[in-house]
Structure 1
Amino acid sequence: MKKSLKAVLISAFIYPGVGHFLFKQYVTGTIIMVGFTVPLWLLITEMFTKTEQVIINIQRGDIPLTIDAISDAILMSSGASMQTLNMYSYALLTFWIIGIVDIYRVSSKR
């Protein structure tokens, strides 16, 4: 397998930015990895916060065990709004695409 294809596949399926390390693009790879990791961490943190609040309310009996009630509780729970969670998701997607396109650009030059 060619080194360029391997780098693109690693950035696409393993973790964005890791493919840059095959071409000794350490700074660019690190920037893309950090840019992907921060919104990922924020998204996961907010999801766990919302989930924990809903679980506590279910255990207290405030929320019945129905899909509709749980879905409404998640949407109404405090913490980040759905718009903020969408923003984190768009940031993840953006850094993922940038990582793939940039490693393709770097590998095609060589």
Structure 2
Amino acid sequence: MKASIKAALISALLFPGLGHLFLRRGMRGLLFIVPTLLAAGYLLRATLALAATLVADIESGKLPLDPILILERVHSSGIDNPATNGAALICIVCWIGSVADALWLGRHR
């Protein structure tokens, strides 16, 4: 198997940019790793904050343990905002871009 295919698979299946480290293109790999880590960290922080609020409301009795009501609370929480949508878009673009770039690097070696 060619090195570019291995790098693309590593980037696709593990984490964006790791395939570039396999190809010994560390700085280029960091261009995919750092934004993805920052965006994923933001998404994780927002999700955990919302989950903590929901759990506290359920434990206090303010929110019944009803999936429909919980889903309505999630939708009304404002978690679906431009910042979270942008962070999700950054993750997707970096993931696809790192796979495509790993394949491109292999073809131009």
TM-score by length of 2: 0.92
- Alignment partner of 1:82 is 2:97: no
How far off its partner does 1:13 sit? 0.6
Alignment partners' CA distance in 2, 1:4 and 1:102? 9
Alignment partners' CA distance in 1, 2:30 and 2:97? 13
State the SS of the aligned residue for 2:16.
Answer: coil
Structure ranking higher on relative contact order (CA contacts 8 Å, 6+ apart): 2
Letter in 1 for 2:84: L
Identity %: 25
Letter in 2 for 1:97: I
Q: Is the 8 A contact 2:46 2:79 kept in 1?
A: no
Alignment partners' CA distance in 2, 1:71 and 1:29? 38
Alignment partners' CA distance in 1, 2:54 and 2:22? 44
Gaps of 5+ in 2: none
TM-score by length of 1: 0.91
What is the aligned partner in structure 2 of residue 105 from structure 1?
Answer: 104
What is the aligned partner in structure 2 of residue 61 from structure 1?
Answer: 61
Q: After the TM superposition, list the runs of 4 or more consecutive aligned residues in structure 1 that deviate by more than 4 angstroms.
A: none
CA RMSD of aligned residues (A): 1.2
What is the aligned partner in structure 1 of residue 94 from structure 2?
Answer: 95
How far off its partner does 1:34 sit? 0.4
How far off its partner does 1:21 sit? 1.4
Alignment partners' CA distance in 2, 1:101 and 1:4? 10
1:42-84 deviation per Cα after TM superposition (whole angstroms, max 9, x unaligned) = 001100000100110001111111111101112233xx63023
The aligned length equals 108
